Structure 1
Amino acid sequence: MTLLFSYLFFTFGINNKQDFTTCLSVAILLHYFWLATWCWMAVESYTMYLLLVKVICNKNSQSCIIRRGCLFSYVTPALVVTFTVLYSLYKVDVQSSNSLENNSGHNDSHHWSSYLSDDACWVKGSAFYFGFLLPISMILVYNFAVFINVVYSLSYRQAKLQSTAKQLSLRKRLSNVITMTTLLGLPWLLGLVGNLIHEETVSTIIQTIHVL
Structure 2
Amino acid sequence: MQSPIESGAADAGAAAVVGVLLAAGGGTRYGMPKILAEQGEWLRAGVAALTAGGCGRVFVTMGAAEAEMPRGAEAVRVPTWDRGLSESVRGGLVRALDCENVVGVVLHVVDIPDVSAPQVERLLSAAGPTPGSLARVSHFGHIGHPVYIGADHLGPVLDSLTGDRGAGPYFAGRHDVIEVECGDLGTGTDHDFPRR
With the length of structure 1 as denominator, give the TM-score of the two structures.
Answer: 0.28
Flag the structure with higher helix content.
1
Larger Rg: 1 or 2?
A: 1
With the length of structure 2 as denominator, give the TM-score of the two structures.
Answer: 0.30
Flag the structure with higher strand content.
2
